Chain A
Amino acid sequence: MVTISDYGKYDTTWCPGCGNFSILEAMKQALVARGLEPHQVLFISGIGQAAKAPHYLNANVFNGLHGRSLPVATGAKLANPELTVIVESGDGCSYGEGGNHFLAAIRRNIDVTLLAHNNQVYGLTKGQASPTSDEGFITKVQPGGVASAAFNPAVVAVAMHAGFVARAFARLTDNLSDIIQQAIAYRGFSLIDVLQPCVSFNKVNTFAWYKSRCYPLPKDYDPTDWYAAVKTADQWGDRIPVGVIYRNERPPFEEHFPVLSQGPLVGRDVDRMMLKKIMEGYA
Chain B
Amino acid sequence: MTRNTINVLIGGEAGQGLVTIGEILTKSVARSGYSVVVTQSYQSRIRGGHNSFAIRMGADEVIAPQEAVDILVPLDKDTVRIHREELSPWGLIIMDEALDIADDQGIKVPFKQWAPDKFLNIAALGVVSYLIGLDEELVSQTMNKFFDKMDQETVKENRLVLEKAFRWTADQPLSFQKLPRVSHASDRLVMNGNEAIALGALSAGLKFYSFYPMTPATSIAVNLAGKSEKMGIIVEQAEDEIAAINMAIGASFTGAPSMVGTSGGGFALMTEGVSLAAMTETPIVIVVSQRPAPATGLPTRTEQSDMELVLHSGHGEFPRAIFAPGTVEECFYLTRKAFELAERYQGPIFILTDQFFADSYRAIDPFDIEDMSPVNPSYALTSSSSPYRRYAFTDSGISQRMLPGISKHLVVADSDEHSEDGHITEDLTVRQRMVEKRLKKGEGIKAEVLPPQLQGDEKPDMVLVSWGSSKGAVLEAASQMRSNGKRIATLHFTQVWPLVSEQFSEHLQKTRELVCIEGNATGQLARLIRRETGVLIAKQVLRYDGLPITPEYILRKLCSN
Q: Which A residues form the contact surface with B (CB < 8 A)?
A: 37-40, 42, 44, 47, 52, 55, 58-65, 68, 70-80, 82-83, 100-101, 103-104, 257-260, 262, 264-276, 278-280, 282-283
Contacts and interface: CB of A to CB of B under 8 A. Distances in A.
Contact of A83 (B27, B404, B414): B404
B404 A39 contact: yes
List of 10 A-B pairs having minimum Cβ-Cβ separation, nearest first: A266-B255, A75-B250, A60-B404, A75-B251, A75-B247, A72-B250, A71-B246, A79-B256, A104-B239, A76-B250
Contacts of B374: 269-270
Contact of A104 (B207, B243, B422): B243
Contact of B246 (A72, A77, A279): A72
B342 interface: no
B242 interface: yes
A72 B208 CA distance: 13
B344 to A, nearest CB: 17
A59 B243 CA distance: 24
Contact of A55 (B240, B253, B256, B423): B423
Contacts of A60: 404-405, 410-412
Contacts of A63: 412-416, 424
Interface stretch (B68-76, B230-238, B453-461): B230-238
Contacts of B253: 62, 72, 75-76, 79
Nearest to A280: B366
Nearest to B282: A62
A78 B412 contact: no
B208 A265 contact: yes
Contacts of B405: 39-40, 42, 60, 80, 82-83, 264
Interface in B391-411: 403-411
Contacts of A258: 229
Contacts of B230: 271, 274, 278
A278 B231 contact: yes
Contact of B205 (A100, A104, A262, A270): A270
B188 interface: yes
Contacts of A283: 27, 31, 187-190, 366
A100 B239 contact: yes
B280 A270 contact: no
B28 to A, nearest CB: 12
A96 B188 CA distance: 53
A210 B409 CA distance: 40
B254 interface: yes
Nearest to A74: B247
A75 B369 contact: no
Contacts of B404: 39, 42, 60, 62, 76, 80, 83
B195 A282 contact: yes
A101 B273 CA distance: 15
B370 interface: yes
A275 B202 contact: yes
A268 B189 contact: no
Nearest to B364: A282
Given A71-B250, A104-B239, A283-B31, A79 B203 contact: no
B258 interface: yes
B199 A39 contact: no
Nearest to A262: B232
A77 B369 CA distance: 30
Interface in B271-301: 272-273, 276, 280
A58 to B, nearest CB: 6
Contacts of A101: 239, 243
B347 to A, nearest CB: 15
Interface residues of B, number: 71
Given A60-B412, A104-B243, 11 more contacts: A63-B416, A71-B244, A72-B246, A72-B250, A75-B250, A75-B254, A100-B240, A265-B255, A266-B403, A271-B232, A275-B369
Given A61-B413, A259-B229, A283-B190, A278 B246 contact: no
A113 B143 CA distance: 52
Contacts of B407: 39
Contacts of B413: 61-63
Contact of B280 (A42, A62, A104, A265): A62
A264 B377 CA distance: 15
Contacts of A82: 405
A52 B418 CA distance: 12
Nearest to A56: B423
A220 to B, nearest CB: 38
B227 interface: yes
A37 B410 CA distance: 11
Nearest to B142: A283
Contacts of B207: 79, 265-266, 268
Given A61-B422, A75-B251, A270 B258 contact: no
Contacts of B379: 266
B496 interface: no
Contacts of B276: 64-65, 68
A157 to B, nearest CB: 16
18 contacts: A40-B405, A63-B415, A65-B276, A65-B415, A75-B248, A75-B252, A76-B404, A78-B208, A80-B254, A83-B404, A260-B234, A265-B255, A266-B403, A275-B199, A276-B370, A278-B230, A279-B199, A283-B188
A267 B231 contact: no
Given A258-B229, A267-B255, A269-B374, A74 B203 contact: no
B369 A276 contact: yes
Nearest to A279: B369
Given A64-B280, A79-B250, A275-B369, A270 B243 contact: no
B43 interface: no
Given A100-B243, A104-B243, A266-B254, A75 B202 contact: no
Contact of B412 (A61, A264, A267, A279): A61
Contacts of A103: 239
B369 A265 contact: no
Interface in B355-386: 366-367, 369-370, 372, 374, 377, 379
A282 B250 CA distance: 32
B370 A75 contact: no
B191 A282 contact: yes
Contacts of B249: 64, 72, 75
Contacts of A40: 405
B254 A79 contact: yes
B228 to A, nearest CB: 7
Nearest to B196: A282
B215 interface: no
